[in-house]
Amino acid sequence: MNGPDVQVPKNVFYFEVLLYLSLLIDVLSAAFLDRMPDDVTDSAKLALNFIAVVMTLGFVQLVWLAAHRRKNWARMILLVALMLSVASIVTTVGDTGLQFSTFVDIVSTALTALGLSFSFTGDAQGWFRQPER
């Protein structure tokens, strides 16, 4: 069953809330922390910001598809994105050390990891096994 009367399992709810919170932190981080190199042109900055907005909206859609439409493939894409985020953080810490912006990324990635762990445990397991109706 789908629709407003369908209750998502508790673990799926936690998954959704934690991933949306992680995305909110990412958006606020992008808005308030200037991470652009000084030698980037204004048009390149605009393009990079546009790509960031599109990617964020794509991740919001993936979370919604996984949580409300039981799309396991969306959950797997989020898992791959988490692995890429971890690799990026490890590389960044190795290159520049731990800075405030990196700490914010670590918090966001930890929330994503926790949320995804909820999507693979408890009452969420059956949610993704049942076909959408």
**pLDDT tens, residue order, the chain (133 aa):** 455 557 889 999 999 999 999 999 999 998 887 777 778 788 888 888 899 899 999 999 999 999 999 999 999 999 999 999 999 999 999 998 898 989 999 999 999 999 999 999 999 988 988 665 5
Are the CB atoms for 9 and 121 separated by under 8 Å? Answer: no
Domain that holds residue 31: 10-129
pTM, two decimals, is 0.88
**CA 26 to CA 109: how far, in whole Å?**
9
**CA 94 to CA 104: how far, in whole Å?**
16
- Number of domains within the chain: 1
Residue 4 lies in a domain: no
Burial class for 51, CB neighbours closer than 10 Å (0-12, 13-18, 19+):
exposed
Length of the chain: 133
Residue 104 lies in a domain: yes
Residue 5 lies in a domain: no
Return the ∠ at Cα 14 (arms to 53 and 32), rounded to 5°.
30
Residue 3 lies in a domain: no
Residue 95 lies in a domain: yes
Residue 38 lies in a domain: yes
Residue 86 lies in a domain: yes
Helical H runs in the chain? Answer: 10-32, 42-69, 72-96, 100-119, 124-129
Residue 2 lies in a domain: no
Specify the pLDDT at position 131: 64
